[in-house]
Amino acid sequence: MKKWFFVLFFALPVYGGPLEDAGLQDVSQVLGNKVFIRLRYATDNNFTGKKIYDFDKCYLHKDAIAGLQTAVALAAQEETPFTFCLWDCYRPQEMHLKLWQAFSNASYVASPKRGSRHSRGMAVDLTPCDFNGNPLEMPTDFDTFTPKAHMDNFDSPAKLLRRRALLKKIMEQAGFSHTRTEWWHFDKKGWKQKPLLNVPVGSGLAK
């Protein structure tokens, strides 16, 4: 089975050059302390129970970062201002295969046949949080692969549904589209024009 995954991976047109040449930028270098980087796959606090990433930096394509900057500005203008905790950003395609092996359900983890939008640097998983980095309550936690995490599920308290709707509104105003099955996942429009990437981040985990 493992061999099948690698055969499929190498059959895809995947770019493996430098990060900068692929248009990827370090979000913390652009947005600084305006957002909080909390990559869940750089820890074992994720659905696999294992650390998937060997890095904890959030890289996105410059187009996605521009959209994220707009979203941050819009959130700061709300009656009760907030910002975002970023749970996942650019994901090398090779590491995406590990997630697919752990949970082969295309409703939640993109099939390797078409690749992940995270692997194009054009998708971000995030949640609203306060300015101390504390996540605000939402209908579910990250990577809760149940109907309650769906954007069209209304089996949650009204306060949480309003917060989810506000998140969706802000991200769409910033040029992102939402994913029906994951309230936390947003794709920057134009992702189809970006190549799949298997560029290693290579910075390692923060000490």
Residue written as token pair 């599920």: 153
182 in active site: yes
- To the question of pTM greater than 0.85 for the whole model, the response is yes
Q: What is the DSSP letter of 101?
A: H
Say if 207 falls within a structural domain: no
pLDDT digit string, tens, across residues 4-49: 344 444 445 565 567 778 899 999 999 988 999 999 999 999 999 9
For residue 127, being part of any structural domain is answered with: yes
Interatomic CA distance for residues 14 and 169, integer angstroms:
32
Residue 164 belongs to a domain: yes
Number of domains forming the structure of the chain: 1
What tokens does 168 get? Answer: 């969706």
Asked if residue 65 belongs to a domain, the reply is yes
What's residue 42's pLDDT? 97
- Over residues 82-131, the pLDDT tens digits come to 999 999 999 999 999 999 999 888 889 988 888 899 999 999 999 999 99
Q: Please indicate, yes or no, if residue 202 is contained in any of the structural domains.
A: no
Residue 169's domain spans which residues?
Answer: 2-9+23-197
From the list 20, 79, 172, 182, the catalytic residue is 182
**Looking at residue 140, which CATH number applies to its domain?**
3.30.1380.10
Task: Tell whether 206 is covered by a domain.
Answer: no
Largest CA distance in the chain: 53
